[in-house]
Amino acid sequence: MLGKKVVVTGVPGVGKTTVINGAMERLATEGVAYKAVNFGTFMFEVAKKENLASDRDEMRKLEKDVQKRLQQAAATGIAAMSGEANIIIDTHSTVKTPTGFLAGLPEWVLRELMPDIVVLVETDPDQILMRRLGDASRARDMEGYRAIAEHQEFNRAVSAAYAMYTGCTIKIVRNENFLLEQGIDDLVSVLR
C-alpha cells in the first residue's frame, strides 16, 4: 500500500520545520512512522555539486530556469524514495524570486509527488518578521508586514490550483507565538 504524502508549506521563517519536528516526535510516541524530507535540501545538494550556490538562501536568486531544473531534480529524487512510507515534504507553495513568485509545486513536480494533503503553515506577518530577524543562521528576506501578508495570500491562491490538479486537500495550520503546541496538534491530526 502506498504511504501518505503530505506537503508542508509556508513563507520563510513561519516555522514549518519547527512544527514538522514537533509533530514527528509526537507521532513517534504513538507508533505512527513518517519520514520527513526537505525539498530545499535536495535542490541544494545539486546546486552545491554544480557550484551554483554556496548556501540555501542563494538558490531563490538563481536564474528561473536553473531553479526549475533543480526543482525537477528534487521532485524526481523524492518520488524515488517515497514508495510505501508515509512522507512529509517540507517545501514552499511559492518562492519569492527577483522576477516574481515561482510556483513551488508546478505541474511537473505535482505529477511526481501527487500529494494527499497540502498543509499551509501560517501566522501573523509581524510574528514572521520577528522570527526572521531572530534566526541568525539564515539569510531570509527582510520584508514588511504587507509583503509577508501578500505572500501568504498568494500561497493560498496557488494551493487551490494544486488541489484542483491533484484532488489533494488543503489544510491551514496556525503556528502562533506561544502556541506552538497547538500548531503541532493540528498537524498531527492530519498526519495520523
Q: What share of the chain is helix, strand, coil (3-state, %, to 5)?
A: 55, 15, 30
Question: Any residues with CB less than 8 A from the CB of 35 and at least 6 apart, and which?
Answer: 81, 82, 85, 86, 87, 88
x/- binding map, residues 94-133, to ligand AP5, per CB under 6 A? Answer: -x--------x--------------------------x--
Cell of 187: 498537524
Binding to ligand AP5 (CB under 6 A) within 141-170 occurs at none
Q: How far is CA 106 from CA 95, 101, 132, 145, 167, in A?
A: 11, 12, 26, 27, 15
Cell of 22: 514537533
Taking the complex as a whole, how short is the minimal distance between the CB of residue 80 and ligand AP5, in angstroms? 16
x/- binding map, residues 61-100, to ligand AP5, per CB under 6 A? Answer: ------x---x------------------xxx--x-----
Cα distance between residue 169 and residue 160, in whole Å: 9
Q: What is the DSSP letter of 19?
A: H
- Which of 167, 171, 170 has its CA nearest to residue 187? 171
Taking the complex as a whole, how short is the minimal distance between the CB of residue 178 and ligand AP5, in angstroms? 7
- Is 60 an interacting residue with respect to ligand AP5 (CB under 6 A)? yes
Which positions make up the binding site for ATP?
A: 10-18
Of 3, 17, 154, 165, the one binding ligand AP5 by CB under 6 A: 17
Binding site for ligand AP5 (CB under 6 A): 10, 12-18, 38-40, 43, 56-57, 59-60, 67, 71, 90-92, 95, 104, 131, 134-135, 138, 140, 175, 177, 180
